[in-house]
Structure 1
Amino acid sequence: MRIDYHMHFENGSYNLEWVKGFFRHARQRNIDEIGIAEHSHGFIEFKELYNEELILDDSPIGTYQQQWLLKNKFRYSLKDYMDFMNSLKKQGYPVKTGIEVCNFKNQQRVAEILKEYNFDYIIGSVHFINSWGFDFSDLKFVWDEHSLRDIYDWYTAEIEGLCRAGLYDVLGHPFNLRLFKHIPTFDVQPFLNRVAIALSEAGMGIDVNTGTLYRYPINEISPYPAFMKTAKDYNIPIIFSSDAHRPEDCGRYIDLAEEYVKEYGYNEVLIFTERKAVAHRIGGKVISKAICL
Structure 2
Amino acid sequence: MRADYHMHFEKGSYDENWVEGFFQQAQRLGMDEIGISEHSHTFPEFKELYYKDLILDDSYIGKFQQQWLKTNKFKYTIDEYFAFMAKLKKKHNVKTGIEVCNFSDQDAVGKILKEYPFDYVIGSVHFLNGWAYDSSEIMAQWDTQDLNDVYEWYTQEIEKMAAAGHYDVLGHPYNIRLFHYIPEFDATPYLLRAVAALKKANMVVDINTGTYYRYPIAEITPYYKFMSVASKEGLPIVVTSDAHKPEDCGAYHDEAVTYARSYGYKTTIRFTGRNREVVPLE
TM-score bracket, normalised by the shorter chain, equals: over 0.9
The equivalent residue for 2:56 is 56
The equivalent residue for 1:18 is 18
C-alpha distance in structure 2 between counterparts of 1:153 and 1:139, whole Å? 21
Q: Would you identify which runs of 4 or more consecutive aligned residues in structure 1 move more than 4 Å? A: none
Matches within 5 A, 1:116-135: 116-135=115-134
Matches within 5 A, 1:140-219: 140-219=139-218
C-alpha distance in structure 1 between counterparts of 2:46 and 2:26, whole Å? 30
The equivalent residue for 2:37 is 37
Matches within 5 A, 1:251-290: 251-283=250-282
Structure 1 residues 96-130: Cα deviation after superposition (integer angstroms, max 9, x where no partner): 00000000000000111111100000000000000
C-alpha distance in structure 2 between counterparts of 1:53 and 1:260, whole Å? 35
C-alpha distance in structure 2 between counterparts of 1:184 and 1:58, whole Å? 30
Structure 1 residues 213-240: Cα deviation after superposition (integer angstroms, max 9, x where no partner): 0000000000011111111011110011
C-alpha distance in structure 2 between counterparts of 1:88 and 1:206, whole Å? 27
Percent of aligned pairs with the same residue? 56
* SS of 1:51 mapped into structure 2: helix
Count residues with an aligned counterpart.
282
Q: How much does 1:143 deviate?
A: 1.3
Q: How much does 1:11 deviate?
A: 1.1
The equivalent residue for 2:77 is 77
* SS of 2:192 mapped into structure 1: helix
* SS of 1:271 mapped into structure 2: strand
C-alpha distance in structure 2 between counterparts of 1:80 and 1:92, whole Å? 18
Q: How much does 1:92 deviate?
A: 3.3
C-alpha distance in structure 1 between counterparts of 2:43 and 2:136, whole Å? 23
The equivalent residue for 1:102 is 101
Q: How much does 1:198 deviate?
A: 0.2
Preserved CA contact (<8 Å) 1:29 1:252? no
For 1:30, the aligned partner's letter is G
* SS of 1:21 mapped into structure 2: helix
Structure 1 residues 51-89: Cα deviation after superposition (integer angstroms, max 9, x where no partner): 001000111110000010011000000000011112211
Preserved CA contact (<8 Å) 1:169 1:204? yes
Gaps of 5+ in 2: none
TM-score, normalising length: structure 1: 0.95
For 1:45, the aligned partner's letter is E
C-alpha distance in structure 1 between counterparts of 2:91 and 2:271, whole Å? 17
C-alpha distance in structure 2 between counterparts of 1:144 and 1:221, whole Å? 23
Report the RMSD for the aligned CA atoms in angstroms. 0.7
1:92 aligns with 2:95: no
C-alpha distance in structure 2 between counterparts of 1:113 and 1:79, whole Å? 12
Q: How much does 1:161 deviate?
A: 0.4
C-alpha distance in structure 1 between counterparts of 2:261 and 2:239, whole Å? 12
The equivalent residue for 1:8 is 8
Preserved CA contact (<8 Å) 1:170 1:206? yes
C-alpha distance in structure 1 between counterparts of 2:94 and 2:254, whole Å? 19
For 1:193, the aligned partner's letter is L
Structure 1 residues 16-36: Cα deviation after superposition (integer angstroms, max 9, x where no partner): 101110000011111111110
Q: How much does 1:138 deviate?
A: 1.3
For 2:189, the aligned partner's letter is P
TM-score, normalising length: structure 2: 0.99
Q: How much does 1:14 deviate?
A: 1.0
C-alpha distance in structure 2 between counterparts of 1:161 and 1:86, whole Å? 32
For 1:224, the aligned partner's letter is Y
C-alpha distance in structure 2 between counterparts of 1:258 and 1:279, whole Å? 15
C-alpha distance in structure 1 between counterparts of 2:184 and 2:65, whole Å? 30
The equivalent residue for 1:291 is none
Preserved CA contact (<8 Å) 1:19 1:247? yes
